[in-house]
């Protein structure tokens, strides 16, 4: 199913790393974009063991290729030390490498040669509505999510449960990310409860019943394995205030529901956070695919504890403020944060995205957009 939908991602020139969670369709996309490449799949256990025991075999295999050949190495994080040979062959044979992975953890922890800038990094995200076209359904996005491997399954609910089990077995246990796999598995639902919330590691440690240092390690694992991401607070130099915590988001609403074992009736109470988190992921995807912004932050005034703006997009010296509301009706209180941010220098637009049907201008310079209109703005880069 995933192969039938064109992706927005465009490959850069030269060698590059391609990261993305398992199930985002990296291998399918690479096979379509690089059909003539020499393919090395490190999930092939026989090949993996050969390179592990006799790493010179990898070098000899590359030496047999013509100069300037394209080479795909899938799941490079399994053998990070191969990057030393990759570096050498880029220089000596002008080979073009595409190095895909579902985790940056072992690469970062091993301190291996990351090709000294000779390969750029790109990320492949879950589906966005533009890729699915008329097949997109918001209800599906908020229930079973937008991961291609789940979207193409006959029973998406069962596929999600299996995906989480696979994550624990293949990403965490097989890569020895933590010595306490049961503890990490128990931690996951607690972390999912913090989806779309300000991240307070002390509170998370208390709720999870583990030490704060353990929680920090677990959060790093979630980030490294591309299951979660954090949106930092925007800190203006014009104000001196207490540094605010980042917000924690999971990369897909379906994963949040699967980890929590959330039934449909329970999900109704969590739709606000699921919708906000999905919008956060869309902003990341369009930042990476289309360059709609340089940074994504959230914002709150120094003097307020309950006033905030969900997302502040920065591009150069220009800003777009975005508030996300799951409601199907506009309420004046939805604009509280956008009113507070009005004086930010460089602020060009203030937008509320909601699930209603009408485009509204309830007050000067505040735009209220239905999801469909907001998605069109995303595609245009808010230009």
> Once rounded to an integer, what is the mean pLDDT over residues 72-83?
92
Q: What is the C-alpha separation between 202 and 58, in angstroms, rounded?
A: 46
pLDDT of 161 > 60? The answer is: yes
Q: In the chain, where does the domain assigned CATH 3.40.50.300 lie?
A: 2-123
* Residue 144 CA from chain centroid, whole number: 16
Q: What is the pLDDT of residue 325?
A: 97
The pLDDT tens digits of the residues spanning 38-49 come to 999 999 999 999
Q: How confident is the model at residue 126 (pLDDT cuts 50, 70, 90)?
A: very high
Q: Where residue 1 falls among pLDDT bands split at 50, 70, 90?
A: very low
Pick the CATH number of 2-123 from 2.40.50.140, 3.40.50.2020, 3.40.960.10, 3.40.50.300: 3.40.50.300
Residue from 335, 288, 270, 283 nearest 309 by CA: 335
362 has pLDDT over 90: yes
Task: Tell me the C-alpha distance between 228 and 194, whole Å.
Answer: 11
Judged by average pLDDT, the poorest of 77-86, 90-99, 213-222, 234-243 is 234-243
How far, in Å, CA of 29 to CA of 14, rounded? Answer: 17
Check whether 157 has a pLDDT greater than 80. Answer: yes
Torsion over CA: 377, 379, 382, 383 (sign)? negative
Residue burial 172-190, b: 16+ Cβ < 10 Å; e: rest = beebebbeeeeebbebbeb
Task: Provide the strand spans (E) within the chain.
Answer: 15-19, 38-41, 70-74, 96-101, 119-123, 197-198, 228-231, 247-250, 295-299, 309-315, 318-324, 347-354, 360-363, 366-370
Share of the chain above pLDDT 70, in %: 91
Q: What per-residue confidence (pLDDT) applies to 240?
A: 44
135 close to 142: Cβ distance less than 8 angstroms:
no
Euclidean distance between CA atoms 124 and 382, whole angstroms: 22
**pLDDT per residue as tens digits for the range 5-43:** 899 999 998 999 999 998 999 999 999 999 999 999 999
Q: How many CB atoms lie within 10 A of CB 145?
A: 27
Q: Per-residue pLDDT averaged across 134-157, rounded?
A: 93
Cα angle 22, 28, 34; round to 5: 125
Closest C-alpha among 308, 243, 310 to residue 275: 310
């Amino acid at each position: 199913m995933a192969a039938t939908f064109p992706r927005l991602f465009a490959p850069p020139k030269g060698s590059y790393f391609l990261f993305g969670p398992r199930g985002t369709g990296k291998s399918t996309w690479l096979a379509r974009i690089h059909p003539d490449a020499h393919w090395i799949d490190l999930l092939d256990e026989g090949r993996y063991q050969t390179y592990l025991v006799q790493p010179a075999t990898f070098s000899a295999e590359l030496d047999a290729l013509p100069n300037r050949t394209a080479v795909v190495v899938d799941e490079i994080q399994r053998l990070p030390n191969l990057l030393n040979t990759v570096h050498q062959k880029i220089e000596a044979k002008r080979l073009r490498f595409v190095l895909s992975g579902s985790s940056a953890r072992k690469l970062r922890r091993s301190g291996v040669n990351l090709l000294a800038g000779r390969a750029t990094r790109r990320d492949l995200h879950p589906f966005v509505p533009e890729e699915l076209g008329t097949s997109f359904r918001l209800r599906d996005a908020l229930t079973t999510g937008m991961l291609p491997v789940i979207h193409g399954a006959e029973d998406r609910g069962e596929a999600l449960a299996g995906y989480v089990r696979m994550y624990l077995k293949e990403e965490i246990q097989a890569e020895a990310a933590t010595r306490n796999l049961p503890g990490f598995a128990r931690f996951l639902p607690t972390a999912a409860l913090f989806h779309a919330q300000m991240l307070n590691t002390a509170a998370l440690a208390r709720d999870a019943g583990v030490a704060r240092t353990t929680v920090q390690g677990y959060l790093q694992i979630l980030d490294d394995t591309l299951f979660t991401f954090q949106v930092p607070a925007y800190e203006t130099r014009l104000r001196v205030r207490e540094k605010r915590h980042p917000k924690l988001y999971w990369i897909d609403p379906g994963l949040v529901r699967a980890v929590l074992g959330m039934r449909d009736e329970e999900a109704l109470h969590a739709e606000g956070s699921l919708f906000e988190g999905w919008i956060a992921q869309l902003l990341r995807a369009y930042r990476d695919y289309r360059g709609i912004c340089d940074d994504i932050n959230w914002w709150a005034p120094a003097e307020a504890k309950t006033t905030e703006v969900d997302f502040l997009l920065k591009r150069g010296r220009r800003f777009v403020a975005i508030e996300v509301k799951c409601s199907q009706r506009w309420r004046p209180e939805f604009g509280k944060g956008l009113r507070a941010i009005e004086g930010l220098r460089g602020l060009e637009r203030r937008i509320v995205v909601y699930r209603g049907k009408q485009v509204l201008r309830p007050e000067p310079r505040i735009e209220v957009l239905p999801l469909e209109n907001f998605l069109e703005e995303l595609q245009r880069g808010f230009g």
